[in-house]
């Protein structure tokens, strides 16, 4: 049984997908300026520097992190090192349509992993909510024309995104099981900084591998610097803070449904950027996705 949603929890779980939608758009705009693993490393290294002044106590020898460092090293590996790297990598070889459709399976993986590893019950409302939410994603991505799905072709990027979706689902569940004193986990800056510390190390390792394979490239300039500032402060620090707080207030399964707001927000932001008028299918997708959230989260 999931906890009832209040306005604060809804706001947290909505703000994170909105920021991540912006991350997807920016990532597509700058993929020719920087290689994917390098982008992820620089993003989180900058986030680490920004968090240091307010979360430095994590580094103390007698701090609450070190008795549980293996757990936070795993969170950093999954949620910061792997997920973001695979997301940026998938955008190099796959279309945004394919990537987002694969990501729309997240509610199913959230429910499945919860059942498999933590014995969380799955009820009919959650299944119905997942179906409604996925239908909303399909509607917005096909622009109301189901024939678009007939022309989809699987490429390596789709497999990267599938792996990324599984990793994020596991990360979200482990986030709610993270060990340590409640005071430490309630301090969002320290809790995130503990993950970022290890995530930066993993990302650095991935970037070194990328460079050794000759896939590194970097074109410095104001477009790239501006993009890095945005994805560091917004989709990295703020979105992860909102997501962690929202999931702890509700549940990973509920969070999985809110994740399907990402493609809807991506489509809306794309419309705003391109100056095009909203379409009827945007409203239909919004009704289906939000309907899925409401159905799944009801007691």
Per-residue pLDDT, 53: 94
| Domain-embedded: residue 48 | yes
| Domain-embedded: residue 190 | yes
How many C-beta neighbours within 10 Å does residue 163 have?
A: 16
What is the span of the domain harbouring residue 14?
A: 7-297
| Domain-embedded: residue 286 | yes
Q: How many domains does the chain have?
A: 1
Coil vs helix vs strand at 218 = strand
| Domain-embedded: residue 1 | no
| Domain-embedded: residue 2 | no
Per-residue pLDDT, 93: 73
Please give the average pLDDT of every successive group of 10 residues along the chain, which has 299 residues. Answer: 72 92 81 89 95 92 89 95 85 68 79 88 83 77 70 73 90 90 89 94 94 91 93 93 90 83 77 63 75 73
Question: Which residues are within 8 A (CB) of 277 and not within 5 positions of it... i.e. 6 or more apart?
Answer: 271
Per-residue pLDDT, 238: 94
Per-residue pLDDT, 137: 72
pTM equals 0.84
| Domain-embedded: residue 185 | yes
Per-residue pLDDT, 152: 63
Per-residue pLDDT, 277: 59
The token pair at 13 is 């779980």
Express as a percent the part of the chain with pLDDT over 70. 89
DSSP 29-61: HSTTTB-HHHHHHHHHHHHHHHHHHHHGGGGST
The token pair at 7 is 């306005």
Per-residue pLDDT, 98: 65
CA 268 – CA 25 distance, rounded (Å) = 11
| Domain-embedded: residue 113 | yes
Coil vs helix vs strand at 13 = helix
Question: Which residues are within 8 A (CB) of 156 and not within 5 positions of it... i.e. 6 or more apart?
Answer: 93, 94
| Domain-embedded: residue 97 | yes
CB-count exposure of residue 143 (10 Å: 0-12, 13-18, 19+): middle
Contact between 138 and 97 under an 8 Å Cβ cutoff? The reply is no
């Amino acid at each position: 049984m999931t906890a009832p949603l209040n306005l604060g929890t809804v706001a947290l779980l909505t703000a994170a997908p909105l920021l991540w939608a912006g991350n997807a758009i920016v990532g597509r705009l700058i993929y020719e300026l920087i290689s994917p693993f390098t982008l992820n490393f620089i993003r989180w290294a900058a986030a680490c520097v920004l968090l240091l002044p307010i979360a430095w106590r994590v580094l103390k020898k007698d701090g609450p992190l070190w008795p549980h460092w293996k757990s936070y090293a795993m969170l950093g590996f999954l949620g910061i090192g792997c997920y973001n790297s695979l997301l940026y990598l998938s955008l190099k070889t796959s279309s945004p349509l394919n990537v987002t459709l694969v990501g729309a399976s997240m509610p199913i993986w959230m429910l499945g992993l919860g059942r498999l590893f933590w014995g969380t019950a799955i009820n009919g409302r959650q299944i119905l909510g997942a179906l409604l939410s996925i239908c909303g994603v399909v509607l917005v991505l096909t622009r109301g024309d189901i024939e678009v799905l007939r022309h989809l072709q699987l490429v390596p990027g789709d497999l990267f995104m599938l792996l990324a979706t599984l990793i994020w689902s596991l990360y979200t569940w482990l986030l709610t099981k993270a060990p340590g004193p409640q005071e430490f986990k309630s301090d969002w800056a320290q809790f995130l900084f503990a993950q970022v510390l290890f995530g930066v190390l993993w990302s650095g390792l991935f970037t070194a591998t990328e460079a050794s394979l000759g896939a590194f490239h970097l074109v410095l300039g104001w477009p790239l610097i501006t993009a890095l500032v945005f994805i560091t402060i917004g989709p990295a620090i703020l979105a992860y803070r909102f997501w962690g707080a929202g999931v702890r207030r509700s549940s990973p399964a509920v969070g999985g449904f809110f994740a399907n707001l990402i493609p809807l927000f991506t489509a809306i932001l794309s419309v705003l950027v391109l100056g095009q008028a909203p379409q009827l299918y945007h409203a239909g997708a919004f009704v289906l996705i939000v309907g899925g959230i409401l159905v799944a989260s009801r007691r």
